[in-house]
A and B are shown apart, each in its own frame.
Chain A
Amino acid sequence: MTTPRKLKPVDAVIIGYGWTGAILAKTLTDAGLRVVALERGPARDTSPDFDYPRIADELRHGIRGELWQPLAAETVTVRHTVNDTAVPYRKYGSFVLGNGVGGAGVHWNGQLWRASPEDLGLRSHIEQRYGKHFVPPEMTIQDYPVSFAELEPHFDHFEKVCGVSGVAGNLRGTVQSVGNAFEGPRSDQFPTPALPAIYAAQLFEKASSELGYRSFPVPAANSSVAFTNPYGVRMGPCNLCGYCERFGCFLYSKASPQTTILPILADRSNLEVRTNAYVTRILKDSAGTRATGVVYIDENGQELQQPADLVVLSAFQMHNVRLLLLSGIGTPYDPVTGKGVLGKNYAYQMFGVTTAFFDEEVQINPFIGAGAAGLRAIDDFNSDHYDHTKQGFVGGAMIYAGGTGGRPIEQMLLPPNTPRWGRAWKAAVHKHYRHSAPITLMGTVMSYRDRYLSLDPTYTDKFGIPLLRITFDWHDNEYRMAAYTAAKMEEIVRQMKPESQATLLLKPGNHYDVRIYQSTHTTGGAIMGTNPSNSVINRYSQSWDLPNLFVYGASAFPQNIGYNPTGLLAGLAYFSADKLKTSYLKSPAPLVSS
């Protein structure tokens, strides 16, 4: 290939213009840096891209995935064990990848959780409470090198940026009579009041309370009222339209980079956003001690070099890891020797669903709902909120009630014995559609020696560049956790007194199945830690190898939490942004000595 044409140097280049890219673009341009943001997908904004009625189209968005990364151009490969040959993820199933300005922050669900305090110091916490031998040897979990107390102001700020609706359960250390009693101490209330519970969530609320659990509103980045965020950006109230996750919000109500941060960046003269810019590698100096910029392919297929003093890698978790591997930054993880850290500790989210099928008098109205809006949850069996001494597993799950919409192609809930076609199917969709509701568990997934990310030796993207390869399957710890929490979930659903109920749950022998949508909560691969031998980045998201490279996103998680990841990854980004502002930009240097 010819040498890429060299562009005028800038102070900072941002790779990926989703949530963390937007957060860092604001931080760096606030500080007066000249910044270029490179986004692989197209430009997107609420209008015209998410305008009503065109957005209310299940086939276009919910099924064909107009907002997702086109897999024809680039996908990942998947295998279950290190001895298998990985094959491409050819059609969407298990997870959906974002694309374009706003990234997956456009079509997420809006459940905005903080981690639990013990999630962050996980290994230390478990070893201290249950002994050193409680964590099995193949489990490679480690502490996040940052505490809940350090992240709290940043969680709080991001919630305000997003106009999150909810009810505080622990205010400055005092457990409240409402809200999540298990959450870490909040410094402030939620910025907007909780949305009223949708009907399925009301039934769950009543049943949980009868069983002695205190349910609470799921923290929802779906504003409940007209709200102005700390940046002066105005959001509108959510109307529970039913077209939330997989869709852009036409009401300026679901938080996305577009509805919260990008409006104030739009006219900054020191920021240039280049879309359809596909970054292929991060460049290093000849000594390999500094990042010098990036190479990308523009929409005309031309290869360009963008020199920069600071490189911000803020693409999706998988793309972050792939770019680091392609750029030869850090030592790739070897699952046989355990050496190397790049690609290590890939994890995912455990899920399970119990569907309640009510009789025709119970009006669930499943189409009324949106992302996180109007949902209710219990957190009693998540994290280490309960005694694990006799459980024989680490972790847990948050259990939440209610659907995110009732879109009939994807979200039709039918009893498992229903024929898939014919007269009986037609009768069943009529009988059950308006009267069924899902209750879902969102579970932790630990990290393991044999679960990791690497470059695929065979398959390439449309430019001939290797795809990322996922080596992943479930471990016994997660099956056990799911069985335990699902039993609690089923007990609550029984108390809701449906006509019948059915649970979809992964059990030993069920392998990771890429055909079924589970979540897009993929984590790890460029994890954070206390030193270069256990991590790719330090507590400030700074690369141990190249101190002028910062890596953001769920790729930093050493293992996954039992909550949606956006709150934690945004908290980590703001924590780092604060350090950049107060320290790094004044005197660029390693922020933690290695």
Chain B
Amino acid sequence: MAAVSRLIPTEGAGPGAIEAGVSEFIDRQMELPYGHGSFFYLRGPFHPESPATLGYQLRYTPREIYRLGIEDTNAAARKIHGMDFARLEAAHQDRMLESIEKGLLELPTVPASTLFAQLLENTREGYFSDPIYGGNRDMVAWRWIGFPGARADFTDWIDQAGTEYPYGPVSIRGTKA
């Protein structure tokens, strides 16, 4: 999960993935039916050689993508740098993530680009979803971009189009920030 802290880093203005609780979000999601793949059609036969435009064609659930992908990434990190990914310095992590994103690093089981896509997708979900799921702690990401969250009532703003919306976010649990 060190990778999420590089995808949305702490440095620079605005909250990073770690402060936003993205790791906890992903951990929790992997325990839910989603993590176990029950949202996807996972019957065979599998044709991973199909054109990319026909979408995901692997047999792996999100949990399996992480388990296998992290193992393989760590093995690659040990080979290149002599230590696991999480122990690398940030600049090395970034470079390794770049080669995973671009598919330049060959991983033996889950293709690197699949691992990256899964990680990026869940990281953004954890950053921007309601805090009820463990990420976006204290609605930090919503405050950062100016999204009012679960407010869901703009009757008072229908006639004020084009002016800055002044209210901060609310969450499903009713907390305000």
Contact = CB atoms under 8 A, between A and B. Distances in A.
Interface of A: 52-54, 56-59, 63-65, 70-72, 74-75, 78-80, 85, 87-91, 93, 195-199, 202, 237, 239-243, 250, 362-363, 365, 367-368, 374, 406, 408-409, 412, 420-423, 425-427, 429-430, 433-434, 458-460, 511-515
Interface stretch (B64-72, B74-82, B103-111, B138-146): B138-146
A386 to B, nearest CB: 31
A427 B13 contact: yes
Contact of B162 (A85, A199, A421): A199
B144 A58 contact: no
B27 interface: no
Contact of B50 (A56, A87, A374, A430): A87
Interface in B134-152: 141-142, 144-152
Nearest to A203: B162
Given A239-B154, A408-B141, A423-B12, A57 B172 contact: yes
Contacts of B40: 71-72, 90-91
A195 B163 contact: no
A198 B51 contact: no
A359 to B, nearest CB: 13
Nearest to A243: B152
B7 interface: yes
21 contacts: A52-B152, A57-B130, A59-B125, A64-B39, A72-B37, A80-B53, A85-B47, A87-B50, A87-B55, A88-B41, A93-B55, A195-B158, A239-B155, A242-B152, A368-B154, A409-B128, A421-B123, A429-B144, A430-B144, A515-B53, A515-B56
Contacts of A57: 129-130, 132, 150, 172
Among all A-B residue pairs, the 9 with the closest Cβ atoms: A56-B150, A199-B161, A241-B152, A59-B129, A433-B145, A408-B128, A513-B53, A423-B12, A421-B7
A434 B154 CA distance: 15
A250 B172 CA distance: 14
B31 interface: no
B176 to A, nearest CB: 13
Contacts of A53: 150, 152, 172, 174
Contacts of B14: 426-427, 430
A213 B37 CA distance: 49
Contact of B165 (A75, A363, A430): A363
A588 B9 CA distance: 69
B9 A422 contact: yes
Contacts of B174: 53
A408 B165 contact: no
B11 interface: yes
B99 interface: no
B120 interface: yes
B8 interface: yes
Contacts, number: 183
Contact of B8 (A80, A406, A426): A426
A590 B125 CA distance: 54
A434 B42 contact: no
Interface of B: 6-9, 11-14, 16, 34, 37-43, 45, 47, 50-57, 94, 97, 101, 120, 123-125, 128-130, 132-133, 141-142, 144-155, 157-159, 161-165, 172, 174
Contact of B55 (A52, A91, A420): A91
Nearest to B129: A59
B146 A434 contact: yes
Given A90-B56, A199-B162, A421-B101, 17 more contacts: A52-B152, A56-B149, A64-B34, A70-B39, A72-B42, A80-B51, A88-B57, A93-B55, A196-B159, A239-B153, A240-B154, A367-B148, A406-B147, A426-B14, A430-B13, A514-B53, A514-B54
Most chain A beta-carbon neighbours within 10 Å: one of B38, B41, B51, B120: B41
A74 B42 CA distance: 10
B147 A433 contact: yes
Contacts of A79: 54
Contact of B161 (A58, A91, A365): A365
B54 A87 contact: yes
Nearest to B144: A430
B60 to A, nearest CB: 11
Contacts of B144: 426, 429-430
Contact of B125 (A80, A199, A409, A513): A409
A578 B160 CA distance: 45
Nearest to A369: B154
Given A88-B43, A409-B124, A514-B53, A72 B38 contact: yes
A458 B174 CA distance: 49
A93 B39 CA distance: 13
Contact of A78 (B42, B54, B56): B54
B11 A423 contact: yes
B128 A363 contact: no
A408 B145 contact: yes
A74 B162 CA distance: 44
A58 B128 CA distance: 9
A583 B125 CA distance: 54
Contact of B16 (A202, A420, A426, A512): A426
Nearest to B149: A56
Contacts of B151: 56, 367
Nearest to A240: B154
A80 B51 CA distance: 10
A63 B29 CA distance: 13
A396 B157 CA distance: 35
Contacts of B52: 515
Contacts of A91: 39-41, 55-56
A90 B55 contact: yes
Contacts of B124: 409
B120 A420 contact: yes
B89 to A, nearest CB: 15
Nearest to A368: B154
A516 B153 CA distance: 29
A90 B9 contact: no
Best-surrounded residue of A71, A250, A365, A430 (most CB of chain B within 10 A): A365
A434 B129 contact: no
Given A53-B152, A78-B54, A409-B125, A368 B9 contact: no
A241 B130 contact: no
